[in-house]
A = this chain, B = another copy of it.
Amino acid sequence: MPFGNTHNELKMKFKSSEEYPDLCKHNNYMAKVLTPALYEQLRSKQTPSGFTLDDVIQTGIDNPGHPFIMTVGCVAGDEETYEVFKELLDPIVMARHGGYKPTDKHKTDLNPANLKGGDDLDPNYVLSSRVRTGRSIRGFCLPPHCSRGERRAVEKMSVEALDSLSGDLKGKYYALKNMTDAEQQQLIDDHFLFDKPVSPLLLASGMARDWPDARGIWHNDSKTFLVWVNEEDHLRVISMQKGGNMKEVFTRFCTGLKKIESLFKAKGTSFMWNEHLGYVLTCPSNLGTGLRAGVHVKIPHMSKHAKFEEVLKRLRLQKRGTGGVDTAAVGGTFDISNADRLGFSEVELMQMVVDGVKLLVEMEKKLEKKQSIDDLVPAQK
């Protein structure tokens, strides 16, 4: 909550050391990477739309750490941020994405036929399955930096494209500012709607300005395919349903996503994408696939086991509470999803989740019967 000093013209009268943020109590990727020397080099730069170094890092300064997750501590304001501030962002991308190098290439694979299995996760344990990603529209600033005019244009384009969807993807758009409190609460309870911005991580980046102007949710009639407009990214695309049929969820995901992309292309716009970073999104943690595939799974025994964290780590999975990233688990039910975003394709990440969750459920069943799980502990993926 922020932001005047990020474009304050008097700040260049002060030395770099006088402007360098105090990061001594901080524990996020930005704080680890941004040395005083690096700050000095970058502090006079800005992207063509005017996004500055201070804009990039403000959220990381204002939020020293997070109880459950190692946060990134910086955001992009436009596509060019990743180029203009590559000296800061390349090391952060490397640290956050398992050693991904500036010269690496990212592969995109949205062909659901390449996913093996995934249609038979035990619904006694796997309560629901969900896949989400984000997309940014080239030529527009991202949520931390976009103007109201830009945001409204993104909304308008998105609604036009989504209105063209048909068949089982036919649906309707609900602008946040026209929603009743009751409609809104129902959508939140159904895990469909995004939160009103309360997370200080998000607020400090500037993405909540002018809320709820030009924000909304589109979903198909059966509520299994959703698009969030202008939350943390221009678009968030979500496929979800009760039970453990990840294959079906992913198939719908790929079909819908590709249809939306072609609708945008037909109107002369495209998504931000390049062969190094894949899909470009607001948070560096979501680069590449932007994909988070996960389940809500009941693992009360496994989650109390001494080896739980280690098993997750080896499976390249991450746990969250059932309310999403800033929540704790309730009643032994966890949100388990892929930890990676970049350097693996969509199919590869899905495969990790499908195989990993299957294993976790097997372990849970063993522990229920008070059997050992030692022989099931996997090698590091």
Binding site for B on A (CB under 8 A): 1-11, 13-15, 18-22, 25, 48-51, 54-55, 58, 61-62, 77, 140-141, 144-150, 152-153, 177, 203-204, 206, 208-211, 213
- Nearest 10 CB-CB pairs, A to B? A3-B3, A14-B149, A4-B145, A11-B147, A1-B1, A7-B7, A18-B149, A5-B147, A9-B50, A19-B149
Interface pair A148/B5, CB less than 8 Å apart: yes
Which B residues lie within 8 Å of A7 (CB)?
6-7, 50
- Chain B residue nearest to A75 (CB atoms) is B4
**22 residue pairs A–B, Cβ–Cβ below 8 Å:** A1-B2, A1-B209, A2-B206, A3-B4, A4-B146, A4-B209, A5-B210, A8-B50, A8-B147, A8-B150, A10-B140, A11-B147, A11-B150, A18-B148, A18-B149, A18-B152, A21-B148, A25-B177, A58-B209, A61-B210, A62-B210, A203-B203
Q: How far is the CB of A277 from chain B (nearest CB, A)?
A: 20
The interface residues of chain A, by DSSP majority, are classed as loop
Interface pair B49/A9, CB less than 8 Å apart: yes
Q: How far is the CB of A349 from chain B (nearest CB, A)?
A: 30
Max chain B Cβ within 10 angstroms of own Cβ: one of A5, A147, A204: A5
| Contact of A145 (CB < 8 Å), options: B8, B22, B55, B146 | B8
Interface pair A153/B4, CB less than 8 Å apart: no
Q: How far is the CB of A201 from chain B (nearest CB, A)?
A: 11
| Contact of A8 (CB < 8 Å), options: B8, B146, B213 | B146
Which B residues lie within 8 Å of A77 (CB)?
4
